[in-house]
Structure 1
Amino acid sequence: MTKQREYTDDYPDKTLYIPGPTEVREDVTEAMSQPMFGHRMDRMTDLYTTIVEDTKDFLGTDNDVIVLTASGTAFWEASTLNLVEDRMLVPTCGSFSERHANVAERLGKDVDRLEYEWGAAVKPDDVRAAIESADADYDVVTCVMNESSTGVRNPIEEIGDVVAEYPDTYFVVDAVSALGGDYVDIDAHGIDVIFASTQKAFAMPPGLAVCVVSEDAYERELATDSASWYGGFQRCLDYYDRKGQTHSTPAIPVMLAYREQMTHMLEEGHRERARRHREMAEYTRDWAREHFDLFPEAGYESLTVSCIENTRGIDVAATIDAVAERYDMVFSNGYGAIGEETFRIGHMGEHTVESIRALTDAIEDVAGL
Structure 2
Amino acid sequence: MSKKREYTGDYPDKTLYIPGPTEVPDDVIDAMAEPMFGHRMDRMTDLYTTIVEDTKTFLGTDNDVIILTASGTEFWEASTLNLVDENILVPTCGSFSERHANVAERLGKDVDRLEYEWGEAVKPEDVRGAIESSDKHYDVVACVMNESSTGVRNPIEEIGDVVDEYPDTYFVVDAVSSLGGDLVDIDEHGIDVIFASTQKAFAMPPGLAVCVVSEAAYDRELEKDETSWYGGFQRCLDYYDRKGQTHSTPAIPIMLAYRKQMKHMLEETHEGRDERHREMAEYTREWAREHFGLYPEVGYESQTVTCIENTQGIDVAETIEAVSEEYDMVFSNGYGDIGEETFRIGHMGEHTVESIEALTDAIEDVAGL
TM-score bracket, shorter-length normalisation = over 0.9
- Determine the C-alpha separation between the residues in 2 that align with 1:296 and 1:142: 20
* Superposition deviation, residue 136 in structure 1: 1.9
Pairing 1:1-369 to 2, within 5 Å after superposition: 1-369=1-369
- Determine the C-alpha separation between the residues in 2 that align with 1:116 and 1:271: 31
Per-residue CA deviation, residues 88-119 of structure 1 (Å, 9 max, x unaligned), is: 00000000000000000000000000000000
- Determine the C-alpha separation between the residues in 2 that align with 1:86 and 1:210: 26
TM-score by length of 1: 1.00
- Determine the C-alpha separation between the residues in 2 that align with 1:9 and 1:86: 48
Per-residue CA deviation, residues 270-319 of structure 1 (Å, 9 max, x unaligned), is: 01100000000000000000000000000000000000000000000000
SS in 1 for 2:176: coil
- Determine the C-alpha separation between the residues in 1 that align with 2:9 and 2:300: 41
Per-residue CA deviation, residues 224-266 of structure 1 (Å, 9 max, x unaligned), is: 1111000000000000000000000000000000000000000
- Determine the C-alpha separation between the residues in 1 that align with 2:260 and 2:67: 15
- Determine the C-alpha separation between the residues in 2 that align with 1:358 and 1:226: 51
- Determine the C-alpha separation between the residues in 1 that align with 2:351 and 2:136: 46
- Determine the C-alpha separation between the residues in 2 that align with 1:275 and 1:154: 18
* Superposition deviation, residue 8 in structure 1: 1.0
Per-residue CA deviation, residues 100-149 of structure 1 (Å, 9 max, x unaligned), is: 00000000000000000000000000000000001021000010000000
AA in 1 matched with 2:57: D
- Determine the C-alpha separation between the residues in 2 that align with 1:165 and 1:5: 54
SS in 2 for 1:348: coil
* Superposition deviation, residue 193 in structure 1: 0.0
- Determine the C-alpha separation between the residues in 2 that align with 1:199 and 1:307: 19
- Determine the C-alpha separation between the residues in 2 that align with 1:218 and 1:102: 24
- Determine the C-alpha separation between the residues in 1 that align with 2:305 and 2:314: 20
- Determine the C-alpha separation between the residues in 2 that align with 1:328 and 1:226: 49
Per-residue CA deviation, residues 211-236 of structure 1 (Å, 9 max, x unaligned), is: 00000000000001111000000000
- Determine the C-alpha separation between the residues in 2 that align with 1:289 and 1:45: 50
- Determine the C-alpha separation between the residues in 1 that align with 2:7 and 2:48: 33
SS in 2 for 1:320: helix
The structure 1 segments of at least 4 consecutive aligned residues displaced by more than 3 Å after TM superposition are none
SS in 1 for 2:321: helix
- Determine the C-alpha separation between the residues in 2 that align with 1:329 and 1:281: 18
- Determine the C-alpha separation between the residues in 1 that align with 2:136 and 2:95: 27
AA in 1 matched with 2:79: S
> Please, which runs of 5 or more residues in structure 1 have no aligned partner?
none
Percent identity of equivalent pairs: 85
AA in 1 matched with 2:133: S
- Determine the C-alpha separation between the residues in 1 that align with 2:200 and 2:161: 26
- Determine the C-alpha separation between the residues in 2 that align with 1:142 and 1:154: 12
> Please, which runs of 5 or more residues in structure 2 have no aligned partner?
none
SS in 2 for 1:40: coil
AA in 2 matched with 1:303: Q
- Determine the C-alpha separation between the residues in 1 that align with 2:137 and 2:166: 9
